[in-house]
Amino acid sequence: MIITNSGRQFHLSLEKHMRLTSKFFFLLTLLLTISSVRSQNSQHDYQETANKIFDTALQEGQAYEMLKELCLDVGPRLSGSPEAAAAVEWGRQTMEKAGLTNVHLQALTVPHWVRGSVEEATILNSISVGSVPLTVCALGGSISTPTLGITAKIIEVNNFDQVRELGEKARGSIIFYNRPLDKTKRKTFSAYSGAVDQRSRGAIEAAKVGAVAVLVRSMTTREDDVPHTGAMNYTAGVPQIPAAAISTVDANFLSALVKKDSTVNVNLKLNCQSLPDAPSANVIGEITGTELPDEVVLLGGHLDSWDKGHGAHDDGAGCVQSIEAIRLLQSMGLKPKRTIRAVLFMNEENGLRGGKDYAQRVAANGPKHIAAIESDRGGFTPRGISIQAEPTTAAFKKVMGWAPLLSAINADHFESGGSGADISSLKKNGTLTMGLLVDSHRYFDYHHSDNDTFDKVNERELQLGAAGMAIIAYVLANEGLPAPEHN
């Protein structure tokens, strides 16, 4: 507004201003109305689309049949094994059959560790119980023992401080890590995170004080007599010693025995070994974007598994859900503006070569990955999405706005958190990485053990997870994301 000394001019000016303002507000109101209607329509359409995707997934889903093949025909598929090669070919054929386009392999080499045929631990001539076999299995990456095994005194510890305090007393012993998962954690993944250092670094810390082997309490929230395997590590400059998981039932038994009889000796025999790296591949397929085909929304899981059970929840489920999500969109005639790509990553369990290699290629040659969602928490009832971004970022807020699309199945719990091991390397390229959140109370009952079999997966739960991924991927592919701020 211009204020002058002339009353008339002021009046005119004011009048003109009012007219202009009124016009401005009229236009603004019109614009806001249109945009609100558009946005409502768009939200409304997505809600309708989401409901149809759920219907289709529940009525005509194929993820469960895909998983059945992967679990029962291919079976467990540790990196470098013939079964892993079979899984790659299964993935390629399954993507083709599901109607994905641009199906191809991305070659890489992977570690090749084999369990061997011998994994035994025996309590020797205990004054209390005599000789008793224990339920154990080699941890992934462990070296073997001599053929006759290693016989040594058991020393039980709960953490690395206790190992360091042992000092010279530990020399020549077998260190027995027995800190249980914290049952009171509301999230089983938090319980796992709080205990898994024993498995991943236990052999290193024990070897530093002269121990000759380690037994590690299985990483499960249950008491069962099944050992749960998983990756262990060595480090340069520290002697490599054999490492095995012991079932939680036998960990409790051994612990009670050690308290009564401080001289318990165990003989541990493992004939696992690491072979030269083997050729393998990530498996990739897409639905091509109609408007921005060179921008990608990735859906993924990992194709390799441990050599126990069927690798059903970890992570056959994530693989078939990634394929199924695209198949659902395809079969319903939905055409996303950007490309949605399913990637079955190889070697998540013991090397992460597939995920790292994939991210390097994207960083070097593109295409631009605006977002990635991994399903690697088991094929259970979906609960929401974990977004690997600060809640203050525009991208985070935009994705949060889509949570209501999953409320029909009570999966609208979106939160800031981790994504998935395979896709986390994409984050530094500016990709918004996310993870499918599921009800995970049962996950560590099965994880990395003979318990992780096909029959533990429920078809509806698996399908709803695939549908949730399809919905969020579709909206992401159409709506895009604000440029990454702190992502």
Closest contact distance (angstroms) between CB of 289 and a copy of itself is 29
Closest contact distance (angstroms) between CB of 12 and a copy of itself is 47
DSSP per position, 167-186: GGGGTTPEEEE-PPP-TT-S
Q: Note if 291 is an active site residue.
A: no
Rounded-to-integer distance, Cα 349 and Cα 355, Å: 11
Closest contact distance (angstroms) between CB of 418 and a copy of itself is 17
Rounded-to-integer distance, Cα 465 and Cα 442, Å: 16
Q: Which residues contact 140 (CB under 8 A, 6 or more apart)?
A: 78, 113, 229, 230, 231, 232, 306, 349, 350
Cβ proximity to a copy of itself, 268 vs 409, nearer residue: 409
Confirm if 249 and 223 have CB atoms less than 8 A apart: yes
Catalytic residue among 83, 205, 286, 348: 348
Closest contact distance (angstroms) between CB of 431 and a copy of itself is 27
Rounded-to-integer distance, Cα 207 and Cα 205, Å: 6
Q: Would you tell me the crossing angle of helices 459-479 and 7-60 to the nearest 10 degrees?
A: 150
Rounded-to-integer distance, Cα 224 and Cα 331, Å: 43
Cβ proximity to a copy of itself, 356 vs 442, nearer residue: 442
- 200-203 long-range contacts (CB < 8 A, ≥24 apart) are 200/230, 200/231, 200/232, 200/233, 201/160, 201/233, 202/175, 202/177, 202/232, 202/243, 203/139, 203/142, 203/232, 203/233, 203/234, 203/240, 203/241, 203/242, 203/243
| Positive or negative torsion for Cα 375, 138, 136, 180 | negative
Rounded-to-integer distance, Cα 292 and Cα 311, Å: 35
Closest contact distance (angstroms) between CB of 183 and a copy of itself is 5
Cβ proximity to a copy of itself, 54 vs 177, nearer residue: 54
Look up tokens 């800190």; give the residue.
Answer: 179
Closest contact distance (angstroms) between CB of 64 and a copy of itself is 10
Cβ proximity to a copy of itself, 206 vs 406, nearer residue: 406
Q: Would you tell me the crossing angle of helices 317-331 and 459-479 to the nearest 10 degrees?
A: 60
Q: Would you tell me the crossing angle of helices 317-331 and 82-97 to the nearest 10 degrees?
A: 10
Cβ proximity to a copy of itself, 8 vs 186, nearer residue: 186
Closest contact distance (angstroms) between CB of 188 and a copy of itself is 7
Strands 130-134 and 136-138, bridge-based pairing: unpaired
Cβ proximity to a copy of itself, 335 vs 442, nearer residue: 442
Q: Which residues bind a copy of itself (CB under 8 A)?
A: 54-55, 58-59, 183-186, 188, 221-222, 381, 383, 408-410, 413, 439, 441-442, 445, 458-461, 464
Closest contact distance (angstroms) between CB of 58 and a copy of itself is 5
Cβ proximity to a copy of itself, 220 vs 393, nearer residue: 220
Rounded-to-integer distance, Cα 294 and Cα 120, Å: 53
Rounded-to-integer distance, Cα 361 and Cα 105, Å: 13
DSSP SS3 for 245: strand
Confirm if 309 and 439 have CB atoms less than 8 A apart: no
Cβ proximity to a copy of itself, 89 vs 223, nearer residue: 223
Alpha helices in 303-377 (DSSP H): 317-331, 353-365
Look up tokens 């507000």; give the residue.
Answer: 25
Active-site positions read 348
